[in-house]
Copies of this chain bind each other. A is one copy, B any other.
Amino acid sequence: MNNESLTLYLSHFIDELTKAGVRHVVVSPGSRSTPMAMLMAEHPDLHLYLHIDERSAGFFALGMAKALRKPIALLCTSGTAAANYYPAVIEANYARIPLIVLTADRPHELREVGAPQAIDQNHLYGRHVKWFVDMALPETGDTMLRYARSNAARSVYIASQAPMGPVHLNFPFREPLIPDYEHAYESITQAGQTVQLQNVARELPEEELEGFAHELAQYERGIIVCGALDSTGFSEQVVKLSKALGFPVLADPLSQLRSGPFLSKEIIDSYDSFLRDQTVRRLLAADVIIRFGAMPVSKALTFFLQENRDAEQWVVDGGGLWRDPSYSATRMIACEETSFCRKLSEKVRRNHHSQWIEKWIAVNEKTKEWMRTVNDVEFLDEGKLFYQLHHALPEGATLFVGNSMPIRDVDSFFFKNSKQIEIMANRGANGIDGVVSTAMGASVFRQPLFLVIGDLSLFHDMNGMLAAKLHRLNVNIIIVNNNGGGIFSYLPQAEHPKHFEELFGTPIDLDYSLAAEMYGGDYQKISSWDEFQESVQKAVSHEGLSIIEVPTNREKNVMVHRQLWKNVSREITSMLLGERK
């Protein structure tokens, strides 16, 4: 019987998926995926999240997996539905987020013969998944049930190994598509033989670490650079290493080093502002640079890395990939980052106190003094928004940051604090797409959550807000509405007015209060900083979707930013040159 094989095969697959630790699946409705959807709904250990738009669904799962740091499953029907996952799959690939993408497909005999809703789904996501399997048609028999179980466990195994990432399993199904779901798991949960998964992190031998410790102790002018990184306990250990070596830590907002109990003066959080000046970069030139995590957001830091190509530059990556866009690496180290820092800091022996780190700390403090003057701006400035926010957010909050300008403003204005604020963003491919949905997904496991997002990015994934309504999520969205592409005002095209507004400014003049109403959210448009503070306070304990719109002005923002950076350049240059005299 076809239904028996369909039911057995899939219930073994799903059961093993749960045994391997998958607890959540984001499902989009469809016909071909019916048997998997029904059997998933029936499994006692799986939570289903329904989402109509597969693009949003993909990012929603991504957000959940980002927060949970475990694989989340996705299920959709055949055809273009599956293609809508592509942006989220690519982001997951580059951001190293584990996703188990399950797509239903027509059976082999309906492929490439002009059958309806049948597209070639083999390797649909090309090189952007870690693993692809075109699954066999459902069959019973011991080997095929083991095959189903094995592929479930293996998909979790592969997705979870460093570097984590998405995998894609494509399931052809024949009609009839209704499984005997009601009794599917009664016998199976006992009977199925499961595979134990053990992922081992990359570790260096002790003698190599000894060598590194010895080598690093030779350098005075060293710095540590931390980008986005997901390694448990890393913050504590990298601060230890920094203290042991006497090297400052340049901490990207997504390094999670700007917030929390391991707050330390060695953490430099304003480098994006002072490294904009070429003279400053020259005066702070380093002899050795150790990098952890993704490339930081700061373009100034990228210049700094490029200009220090004579320095030793070490790249430590637990995923073993090649992260060196500045072509300055001298050593690639495929080692789990936290253990690298812990072991190395135990081995380092230094007996001189370094002026070097004090200089970085002083420059950092002076820079922040000047950057804090953004708070004196009276109109609704985007930089000030983040400065205010870093004071207003409560202990334990999560700040999800949109791409383009918000992530850059966080870098410039969201300083160190002790409040355990986690900062999240989609920095695998840096898209403005899918941000709303990713934040919605993260909110399932992170409360309270604030998303700060530009108006174009919000528009791009407005459909994502449906999740808040369907799944009663608590999400606070702060829209930085400069009515168009704010980042382009900082780029050279801003000097070419002829095509600027048409191609780059792109005002779309939408009334977001209507979107709020549509998705059952509260809405407030801010006209003063007092209102902003009040709204944020109110939002902290608000249940459901809350939208705070902050209307800003593209031209004024650029002016304020440039003036601040000019002040910082002047002050820090004179400070460093004065020191040398």
| Residue from B50, B427, B466 within 8 A of A503 (CB atoms) | B50
| Residue from B29, B114, B496 within 8 A of A294 (CB atoms) | B114
State whether B488 touches A29 (Cβ < 8 A).
Answer: yes
State whether B463 touches A31 (Cβ < 8 A).
Answer: no
Residues of B within 8 A of A431 (CB): 79-81, 117
Bound CA–CA A55/B58 (angstroms) = 14
Residue A395 lies at the interface, judged by CB distance under 8 Å to chain B = no
State whether B463 touches A462 (Cβ < 8 A).
Answer: yes
Residue A515 lies at the interface, judged by CB distance under 8 Å to chain B = yes
State whether A463 touches B470 (Cβ < 8 A).
Answer: no
User: Please, how many residues of chain A have a CB less than 8 angstroms from a CB on the other chain?
Assistant: 92
CB distance from A41 to the nearest CB of B (A): 4
Bound CA–CA A119/B129 (angstroms) = 12
Within 8 A of B (CB), among A486-518: 487-488, 491-493, 496, 498-499, 502-504, 506, 508-511, 514-515, 517-518
Bound CA–CA A89/B37 (angstroms) = 27
State whether B504 touches A295 (Cβ < 8 A).
Answer: no
Of A319-327, A377-385, A538-546, the one contacting chain B is A319-327
Residue A110 lies at the interface, judged by CB distance under 8 Å to chain B = yes
Of A120-128, A165-173, A260-268, A343-351, the one contacting chain B is A120-128
State whether B324 touches A113 (Cβ < 8 A).
Answer: yes
The oligomer's copy count stands at 2
Bound CA–CA A120/B498 (angstroms) = 33
Given contacts A52-B506, A53-B459, contact A117 B499 (CB under 8 A): no
State whether B459 touches A466 (Cβ < 8 A).
Answer: yes
Residue A375 lies at the interface, judged by CB distance under 8 Å to chain B = no
Closest to A517 in B: B514
State whether B110 touches A90 (Cβ < 8 A).
Answer: no
Residue A48 lies at the interface, judged by CB distance under 8 Å to chain B = yes
Residue A9 lies at the interface, judged by CB distance under 8 Å to chain B = no
Residues of B within 8 A of A114 (CB): 294-295, 321-325
State whether A41 touches B460 (Cβ < 8 A).
Answer: no
Residue A434 lies at the interface, judged by CB distance under 8 Å to chain B = yes
Bound CA–CA A100/B120 (angstroms) = 21
Residues of B within 8 A of A433 (CB): 53-54, 80-81, 84
Q: What does the 1/0 interface line of A129-143 toward B look like (CB < 8 Å)?
A: 000000000000000
Residue A178 lies at the interface, judged by CB distance under 8 Å to chain B = yes
CB distance from A28 to the nearest CB of B (A): 9
Give the one of A38, A80, A116 with max B CB within 10 A: A80
State whether A493 touches B459 (Cβ < 8 A).
Answer: no
Within 8 A of B (CB), among A169-196: 176-178, 181-182
Name A residues whose Cβ lies closer than 8 Å to a Cβ of B.
27, 29, 31, 34, 37-38, 41-42, 48, 50, 52-55, 79-81, 83-84, 86-87, 89-91, 93-94, 109-110, 112-120, 123-124, 126-128, 176-178, 181-182, 294-295, 297, 321-325, 327, 427, 429-431, 433-434, 456, 459-460, 462-463, 466, 469-470, 485, 487-488, 491-493, 496, 498-499, 502-504, 506, 508-511, 514-515, 517-519
5 A–B pairs (Cβ distance < 8 Å), ordered by A = A79-B431, A114-B321, A116-B325, A178-B496, A514-B517
Kindly list 16 other residue pairs between chains A and B, CB separation below 8 angstroms, not including A29-B456, A119-B128, A514-B514: A38-B493, A50-B503, A55-B55, A79-B429, A79-B430, A79-B431, A80-B429, A80-B431, A80-B433, A81-B433, A113-B327, A178-B493, A182-B498, A466-B508, A511-B518, A514-B515
